[in-house]
Homo-oligomer: A and B are copies of this chain.
């Protein structure tokens, strides 16, 4: 029962970085109230014990994961869980009548076989895969309106797709020439401990990983293929940058004509007109990750090269905001018929 009149939200996976970012961002949402923070691993403990930055802000103990209990406390659930966990939990939440925004990768692919190939565990049942709306807001926002179940795009996917789709849809770039060289801050790897996220191994280091093997590849290709109408296969490299937040996708494609940077700026500004979270930079200006840090913006810039006939597209986001928690709230806003910017008016934190 809601006494505030606000939409009641539960967050599953509240002790991961996506979960605590949802908490941070929702503190200032005028129409949403967090009524349950949920963690399978730490149920019963005060959330500020593991996250002292929330001291005095969220004075709440973590709840366990129980679909029926959640349904009694919340109207909508954000599932910021590891892949494999959502596959099982989300159907229960939907059956219980809850709206769901799923931040795991479990419902992003329409093809269960492809899911199993890239994620290495069994796919959710096909009906849920088909029901899930892939919530890339600025591209598929109209599908989100009124939906009950959103699959929130991956962080790399969000940066990459927003940077490629207008040009691909316009036929300006060759669909079989796309190379994505992506770089991410370490928070994208989550809060789990491993040598891969050990400070002394990451600091003053730059490394590539999962080249052509990252699980965000199939959702990128699925979406680009839908946009293009032709089967798109991308070369995709991910790198780890010694910083906490931020993703840059530097993307290369052969052009189908002699377009220059201003042409691209015009095309993209037209495509993203009325969508304030995508900022297309002036010709000759490329965005840096810090310029969107802590905010829900995706900034895009271009460099065309007449010598090679290729365009270089640079797209940046904060991986935990636009790449996760921020876009999830933006999706919920769209589901509810609210302005997509509601509660998301965060200016980037700079420096």
Interface residues of A (CB under 8 A from B): 17, 20, 23-24, 27-28, 51-57, 179, 181, 183, 185-187, 191, 193-195, 197-209, 211-212, 233-235, 237, 239, 241-246, 248, 250, 252, 276, 279, 281, 285-295, 299, 303, 305, 307-308, 310, 312, 314, 316, 345, 347-351
CB contacts (< 8 Å) of A287 on chain B: these are: 52
Given A53-B292, A200-B197, A243-B204, A308:B235 Cβ within 8 A: yes
Assembly stoichiometry (copies): 4
CB contacts (< 8 Å) of A248 on chain B: these are: 206-208, 239
Docked CA distance A276–B56 (Å): 8
Verify B276–A205 contact, CB threshold 8 A.
Answer: no
A345: shortest Cβ distance to chain B, in Å? 6
Contact of A242 among B55, B212, B242 (CB under 8 A): B242
Verify B307–A233 contact, CB threshold 8 A.
Answer: yes
Contact of A241 among B206, B279, B310 (CB under 8 A): B206
Verify B186–A199 contact, CB threshold 8 A.
Answer: yes
Contact of A244 among B194, B288, B308, B351 (CB under 8 A): B351
CB contacts (< 8 Å) of A53 on chain B: these are: 290-293, 295, 347-348, 350
A302 and chain B: residue at smallest CB distance: B211
A293 and chain B: residue at smallest CB distance: B204
Interface centre among A186, A248, A347, A350 (most CB of B within 10 A): A350
Cβ contacts A to B, 24 pairs, < 8 Å: A24-B348, A28-B345, A52-B288, A52-B291, A54-B347, A181-B181, A186-B199, A193-B197, A198-B199, A199-B199, A203-B204, A203-B244, A204-B246, A204-B293, A206-B246, A206-B248, A206-B289, A208-B286, A211-B286, A212-B303, A233-B308, A242-B243, A245-B351, A294-B294
